[in-house]
Amino acid sequence: MYGGGYIFEETKNGKPESEDQGKLKNFEAKIAAGEKIEPSDWMPAEYRKQLIRMIEQHAHSEIIGALPEGTWITRAPGFRRKMALMAKVQDEVGHAQLLYSAAETLGKPREDMINDLITGKSKYSNVFNYPAVTWADTAVIAWLIDAGAIINQVANSKGSYGPYCRALERICIEESFHLKYGHDNVVFLATGTPKQREMVQDALNRWWKPIMHFFGPSDKISVHTETLMRWKVKMASNDDMRQKFLDMYVPKIWELKLTIPDPNLKKNQTSGKWEYTEPDWEEFKRVINGDGPCNKERLAVRRKSEEKGEWVRRALMRQDEQYVTPLS
């Protein structure tokens, strides 16, 4: 594979030049030895490009991911739940900041990343293009989507790029609180009145498909897994992560006597693997490419907040003295 497109690195004037095979060998030896690659280390251009793509998408997912639950802050049932949800949403935005910083170490300015998000050039997680219809949706998101995220992030925090791994470690600690908060909310509803049980079952029915998509396309059709796993950016394949999620969470869902909307879901006792209805990858592609139920709404919110926050950024950057004079 290295004989192909990966042996070139872009120089400052954008022209590719042959990468030093010795550097490539050292780089791969470091990764094989489990050492971290740091921003000032030499790295192949393709490694840099893949990391920027993945970390940037992850950062966008956190910041857009704050929106479906964020819309419930004003309607949360009770003051304690409202405070907890506000803290969670703030955490998610904080995760985006950590991840944008990690991606910046690879050379892409934050302004460019935000611009690529609001113009629809960059992707973010499929799940956040679906609406949180009731309070129970926020419970399912906080429990099961955070659970899926933790499975992915705990694995990848053992990966090769130092700044991403350190950001993931910190994020996972906070996500573990989110998961407990989400589980508490789901248990409360599932053991509550018939109406509350119905609400949480409906929410689970709505979210199951996006959650199955969340781990990415099946290994048969995944585009980047092979490269990313070879360079220890991804530490498990999409299907393996999905299997781990099913292993850990299907029993917990069934324990609450909730139904999973997939008649084919069962564990094959011989292979030890979960069998399930193959997710609709055409729908997945549509949603991640801009045609989901809430894509337009989500990006419109980000665009508006970008416009409204412009004066703050200008003031902080001290580019316009009229904003900073009173504080100086």
Residues contacting ligand BYC: total by CB under 6 A: 29
Closest-CA residue to 21 (of 31, 7, 1, 10): 7
Q: What gap in Å lies between CA 77 and CA 37, rounded to an integer?
A: 46
Nearer to ligand BYC, 129 or 201 (CB): 129
Which member of 9, 19, 62, 174 binds ligand BYC (CB under 6 A)?
62
Q: Is 57 in the site for ligand BYC (CB under 6 A)?
A: yes
Closest-CA residue to 233 (of 48, 22, 23): 48
Element containing residue 275 per DSSP (H, E): strand 274-275
Query: What single-letter DSSP state applies at residue 142?
Result: I
Helix, coil or strand: residue 324: helix
Nearer to ligand BYC, 15 or 220 (CB): 220
Each residue 212-231 as x (binds ligand BYC by CB under 6 A) or -, in order, gives -xx-xx----xxxx--x---
Nearer to ligand BYC, 7 or 154 (CB): 154
Residues 179/146, Cβ–Cβ less than 8 Å: yes
Q: Is 149 in the site for ligand BYC (CB under 6 A)?
A: yes
Instruction: List binders of ligand BYC among 228-257 (CB under 6 A).
Output: 228, 234, 238
Q: What minimum distance in Å lies between the beta carbon of 261 and ligand BYC?
A: 19
Nearer to ligand BYC, 201 or 295 (CB): 295
Closest-CA residue to 147 (of 124, 123, 96, 181): 181
Helix, coil or strand: residue 179: helix
Helix, coil or strand: residue 222: coil
Q: Is the dihedral angle over the CA atoms 104, 108, 109, 113 positive or is it negative? A: negative
Nearer to ligand BYC, 302 or 314 (CB): 302
Each residue 77-116 as x (binds ligand BYC by CB under 6 A) or -, in order, gives ---------------x------------------------
Q: What minimum distance in Å lies between the beta carbon of 113 and ligand BYC?
A: 14
Closest-CA residue to 237 (of 216, 265, 255): 216
Q: Is 30 in the site for ligand BYC (CB under 6 A)?
A: no
| Type of residue at 268 | N
Q: Is 67 in the site for ligand BYC (CB under 6 A)?
A: no
Residues forming the site for ligand BYC (CB under 6 A): 53-54, 57-58, 61-62, 65-66, 92, 123, 125-126, 141, 145-146, 149, 152, 213-214, 216-217, 222-225, 228, 234, 238, 288
